[in-house]
Amino acid sequence: MADNHDHMLSRTMSASEVSGIMDRAASVFNALDLDKDGILDSTEIQSVQDEAKTNGVMSILDACNSSEGQFTMSEIDQNKDGKLSAAEFTKYFMKIFTVSGPDKALAILSKLDADLLEIGR
């Protein structure tokens, strides 16, 4: 008998699910991109982290840390240039979507959105 869990993970993503993840990831990316150059570097991520801690908000990146992987530059930075493009950022969340499903990916992105909103981003 096939493992039901494996079957669930291999299901096809609907266009609306993919669109929802991509739109939410773009929104979070834009809020993190402090200088609006279309690239996230470690300075921008650290700046947002520091601002979150100062304002008593859960560490922004803790929302992404899970069994699927760690939200670190090295985990997401596919071309290893030390920066995150919007495509790399979105691809990371699509990976979570594929591995754990849309609810997990959207929950992480929603938490990030809420934390960013709380610190005025």
Q: Which helix (H) or strand (E) holds 93?
A: helix 86-100
User: What does the domain layout of the chain look like in residue ranges?
Assistant: 33-118
Bridge pairing between strands 39-41 and 83-85:
antiparallel
The answer as to CATH 1.10.10 being correct for domain 33-118 is: no
pLDDT in tens, the chain (121 residues): 444 444 444 456 788 888 888 999 999 999 989 999 999 988 888 888 788 778 777 555 565 554 444 556 677 888 989 889 999 989 988 888 888 888 888 888 888 888 888 888 8
- Dist CA 4 CA 47 (whole Å): 43
